[in-house]
Structure formats: structure tokens, C-alpha cells
Amino acid sequence: MSNIGKNIVVLPSQLNLEVRGWKLYAKSPFREKIMRFPPYTKIEKRESLVGLVSSSIKPEVYGSLQRKLDAFIYGISYKYVKRLLFVGVGYRARFDAQDSKTIILRLGFSHEIRLKVPEGLNLRIVKRNNIILSGHDFEEISQFAYKLRSFRKPEPFKGKGVVIKGEEVRRKEGKKKKL
């Protein structure tokens, strides 16, 4: 059994959680959501604690299912936030004038990149080179942040590109002149 899998999740007071077989039904002041686990999982809820029963789960999957359960409960109760930085001359973002759910990126290409912001995600542009993504679903936020990052990954020599705040960009030394 993994060490992550041994953790028991404490439920916040404002969250109503109901367990039916391998499905979780959660209701918070923000929203309602259902999470389905694989059919062989057993979920146990006692008062304000919830966890997975280890006897029914393969050891390889146990830790990742526990992390998903933890992220689900945190996300339905609170908000996740990711910050993106545009590092480089002329790298910037702005909202489309006609559609407020479309973001336009200028990342040094000969064209602008237009992207629709998914439902359930809040996107705020601070200055012109900082973006704040927030929402209740950790996977959705991370997926959209990495999609934005994939257009211009940080390069190791100058560090230019789209960087997720907190990410460490490994820098390389440039060529040296021979004497």
C-alpha cells in the first residue's frame, strides 16, 4: 500500500458528501458534482472523514485514486489558482473584443493564437503578460494551463516562453568563445 493512499481526507464543514458504491455525490455552496471511481473500489465514509479501502484496490492504482479523491474534495470546496507568466519581448495576452470567452495570444509568431476559455474556468489578465486561471476542477485548470504553455514552452538559454509560476526553468550556459 502506498503512503499517499493511507491518508484519510477530512471533509470541510460546508460539504455534503454521499457515497453510493463507487460513486461520490458532493454538494457545496458553490456547486454539485459526481465523481466515478473504477467499479472495484470501495469508499468508506465515517462522520467527517472519507478514504479508500485498500483491500479492494491494486497497489499500483491506490495512490493515484487517493490523490484524485483529495483533489475532488478540495476543488468542490475551494478554488484552485494557477498563474502564467509570459516572458519575452512582445509576448502578451488579451481578450477578444467581440467574445469575452476568447483569449488572443501574441507569442512571437507571425500570427495571433485564438483560444476559447472552457466553461467553469475563470481567466483574468493582469497587466498584459500575466494570466490568472481559477476554477474548481484541478485537472481542467492544469490541462488548460499546459495547453497555453505548449504554444511557447520556456527555452533553456534565455528563459523566454510561457511559464507557470513556481515552475523552475532549467537554464543552460551558452557557447563559449575559444581563446
Q: What is the pLDDT of residues 81-137, one digit of tens each?
A: 999 999 988 899 999 888 888 999 999 899 999 999 998 899 999 988 899 999 888
The CA-CA-CA angle for residues 165, 63, 121, to 5°, reads: 40
171 within a domain of the structure (yes/no): no
- Picking from 61, 77, 93, the residue at the C-terminal end of a domain is 77
Q: Does residue 2 register a pLDDT over 70?
A: no
Same domain, 70 and 93: no
Same domain, 38 and 87: no
pLDDT grade for 73, boundaries at 50, 70 and 90:
confident
pTM of the shown model: 0.77
> How many Cα neighbours within 13 Å face the side chain of 152?
23
Q: Does residue 29 register a pLDDT over 90?
A: no
Same domain, 87 and 119: yes
Same domain, 154 and 120: yes
pLDDT grade for 149, boundaries at 50, 70 and 90:
very high
Q: What is the pLDDT of residue 60?
A: 76
Instruction: Report the share of the chain in percent with pLDDT over 90.
Output: 29
Count of domains for the chain: 2
Q: Residue 134 in contact with residue 178, Cβ under 8 Å? A: no
Integer Cα distance of 177 and 179 in angstroms: 6
The parent domain of residue 139 ranges over 80-164
**What is the pairing mode between strands 121-126 and 130-135?**
antiparallel
Q: Does residue 144 register a pLDDT over 90?
A: yes
Integer Cα distance of 50 and 17 in angstroms: 9
Integer Cα distance of 17 and 90 in angstroms: 47
Least confident of 57-61, 80-84, 129-133, 158-162: 57-61
Same domain, 92 and 122: yes
88 within a domain of the structure (yes/no): yes
Q: What is the pLDDT of residue 132?
A: 94
